[in-house]
Amino acid sequence: MDSCLHSLPSFSQVLKEIKSKIRRTKSYTPNRSLPDELCYRISLSDIKAATNNFHETTIIAKGDTGFIYGGKINDEFYAIKRLMPTTDSHLPLMELRHGAEFLCQLRHPNILSLIGFCDEKKEMIHVYQHANNGSLYDHLHAENYDPIPWERRLEICIGVARALHYLHTGAKCVLIHRDVSSKNILLDDQWTSKLCNFGFCKRGPLSISRGTVSVEVEPDVNYTFACLAPEVAMTCRVSDKCDVFSFGVVLFEVVCRRRVFDAELEMDQQLLYPWARKCIENGTVYSIIDPYLKGKIARECLKKFLEIAYSCVHYEVNKRPTMGEVELTLELALELQKQAESEFESINAQGEFMCEEASFSCTI
């Protein structure tokens, strides 16, 4: 393992916590791509027992590279991601290796914890903590989900911003997620956001404090294209500012409750972020926010939120903020919302502080 990751928190304490729950398979000794001291190897027999031999009734989600099963291992319920071969046959192995290498050392409350892995008999499996509230995407777009209150949406976004800030600055080397999207943001039973899916994560050079870093990537990787920074397609290079751009798209998705790409809309509205930028510039952005939120967002809070979302998706890389700046701005937006609600309660006047379309404007 590269020494640049050694400054991250040790995994030894986590191992102690789960040794009583998951049994190490000592008899199986293949050519190991991952050191046991970093990642806990789980036997295929235990995983098959937990998923009833990968029965379809135990599937809890469908990922881009395989199914995710739910199952108990020693009385604890886990999410078990079984990576499947694709036309790019090296991709699942790359995801297993990179995901395990990164996640076993990344310990952050807003990053989904990897519990262990299995690469027995050509299987490629990750075992994660279970985030039982599903994905942010589901709550924004799937049927039979109640709308998420605005303050909770802000808290979810702040959690993801903290996770990305940690990736960009929490080690000697920058870690670039490369696939930030609402589908890769999970929610636990306390509504804590958990950034997941690190299969495409890229390790950059030394600390970002020396400036924006850029690293070359594979030209044929299938990202969430509607969240992809425009420079990636042109240069096949990614930087920490690519994560910032993708997160900005998610911010617009959260406040508008619109898919980042919708082929059923008119051509100029199909891709969310350029349409949202245009509405902000034209002063019509209030008309495209989630109808559920209208009348429930404090004017200054919404203005601050839209300002940071707009700056995140700036076409010029160097004009995008850092994730640390994004995190602080979102925290300020939340404080502005709480302050306005407190004032509203004290004067008990309906709509005193809330945005109305006729009076709201956001100048960038």
Catalytically active residues are: 179
Of 179, 165, 199, the C-alpha closest to 242 is: 179
Please tell me the chain's helix, strand, coil percentages from 3-state DSSP, rounded to the nearest 5: 45, 15, 40
Say how many C-beta atoms besides its own lie within 10 A of residue 188's C-beta. Answer: 16
35: left (phi over 0), alpha (psi -120 to 50) or beta: beta
Q: Give 208's DSSP letter.
A: G
Say how many C-beta atoms besides its own lie within 10 A of residue 345's C-beta. Answer: 9
Alpha carbons 128 and 136: distance in angstroms, whole number: 17
Signed CA dihedral, 318, 324, 330, 335: sign only: negative
Q: Which residues contact 360 (CB under 8 A, 6 or more apart)?
A: 286, 299, 302, 303
- Spell out a b/e string for 35-49, using b for 16 or more CB atoms within 10 Å of the CB, else e: eeebbbbbbeebbbe
Say how many C-beta atoms besides its own lie within 10 A of residue 343's C-beta. Answer: 13
